[in-house]
Amino acid sequence: MEDKYGLIGAPIAHSLSPAMHNFWFEEYGISGDYRLYPVEKCDLVQAVSRIKEARVKGFNVTFPHKTAILSLLDEVDEAAEVIGAVNTVVQTGGRLIGYNTDGIGFLKGLQRNFPSFINKRPSILVIGAGGAARSVALTLARAMGARVDICNRTCSKAVALSAACGAYSDSDALKFDQAERQLDRYQVVINTTSIGLNPDADHSVIHLNRALPGTLFADLIYSPRRTAFLREAERLGHPVMNGLSMLVYQGALAFQKWTGVFPETVKMENHLIKMYLMS
């Protein structure tokens, strides 16, 4: 019988994770079947005990359970503990062990697509202070020790995330207008907000005209492949990166935790673009 894997969260019907993991299982001749398990907020405790009983070997966790699941696991990896969220769980010997591969997934995409930026220890601006922002900002602060400033609509969340990053690097909390005025201080600017998705698809989260030439603009959103933020950055001549490499690398890192195999990522990105993201 095939080993069971899956994704828990709600809503999850749009997820590309089954396409990605089932493609890799086939590609590497590994016995596995990855399915969507819709789990509403109030059903998490029951769902986790069912997963244990059903001996699901590994699963991903998404909205709204990434933080709530921590207290239901037998062990949580140190980086996930610092981030305060888990997106990947391994079941071994009846124990559930939680990890967070989102931030490392972003970093690996950056390393592959723009290695020269990493080598220069860039100053970074993270726009947003939600769950994805925590993973990305804390991973970059811990891995690179570079300045990581945070700006967010809700100031208290920017202050809290900046304080957490401050344990590993220099970090300030900013308002949007402050960030726009001092955009020339950053070599990398990352939009982690959901502005760029409908109904905010036509708005760039901040104005970019103060950025120095060569500043890299990244967005965690991958559908649309170019948000208004990235379109504006490209119009001004800047290099850009969308969230697809993060999606694929966070999945590849999860796949490695479950199977011991780190799968090929560029072919997967092209496969997802061709099959699901052409429009």
Q: Is 185 in the site for ligand NDP (CB under 6 A)?
A: no
Binding ligand NDP (rule: CB under 6 A), the pick from 5, 25, 222, 229 is 222
Task: Please say if 257 is a catalytic residue.
Answer: no
Binding ligand NDP (rule: CB under 6 A), the pick from 91, 169, 187, 250 is 250
Binding ligand NDP (rule: CB under 6 A), the pick from 89, 90, 126, 133 is 133
Separation between Cα atoms, residue 142 and residue 100, nearest integer Å? 14
Q: Which of 4, 52, 57, 66 is catalytic?
A: 66
Q: Is 152 in the site for ligand NDP (CB under 6 A)?
A: yes
Q: Is 194 in the site for ligand NDP (CB under 6 A)?
A: yes
Separation between Cα atoms, residue 243 and residue 136, nearest integer Å? 12
Q: Is 220 in the site for ligand NDP (CB under 6 A)?
A: yes
Shortest reach from residue 85's CB to ligand NDP, in Å: 9
Shortest reach from residue 84's CB to ligand NDP, in Å: 11
Shortest reach from residue 6's CB to ligand NDP, in Å: 17
Residue 129 is labelled as binding a ligand? yes
* DSSP letters spanning the chain: -PEEEEEEESS-TT-SHHHHHHHHHHHTT--EEEEEEE--GGGHHHHHHHHHHTT--EEEE-TT-TTGGGGGSSEE-HHHHHHT---EEEEETTEEEEE--HHHHHHHHHHHH-HHHHHT---EEEE--SHHHHHHHHHHHHHH---EEEE-SSHHHHHHHHHHHTTTS---EE-HHHHHHTGGG-SEEEE-SSBTBTTSTT--SS--TTPPTT-EEEES--SSSS-HHHHHHHHTT--EE-SHHHHHHHHHHHHHHHHS----SHHHHHHHHHHH---
Indicate the residue among 137 and 212 with the shorter CB distance to ligand NDP.
137
Only one residue has tokens 């080598």, namely 119
Q: Is 132 in the site for ligand NDP (CB under 6 A)?
A: yes
Shortest reach from residue 162's CB to ligand NDP, in Å: 13
**Residues of this chain, 101-130, that bind ligand NDP according to CB under 6 A:** 102, 128-130
Shortest reach from residue 46's CB to ligand NDP, in Å: 23
Residue 119 is labelled as binding a ligand? no
Q: Is 91 in the site for ligand NDP (CB under 6 A)?
A: no
**Residues noted as catalytic:** 66
Positions touching ligand NDP (CB under 6 A) are: 63, 102, 128-133, 152-154, 157, 192-195, 197, 200, 220-222, 243, 246-247, 250
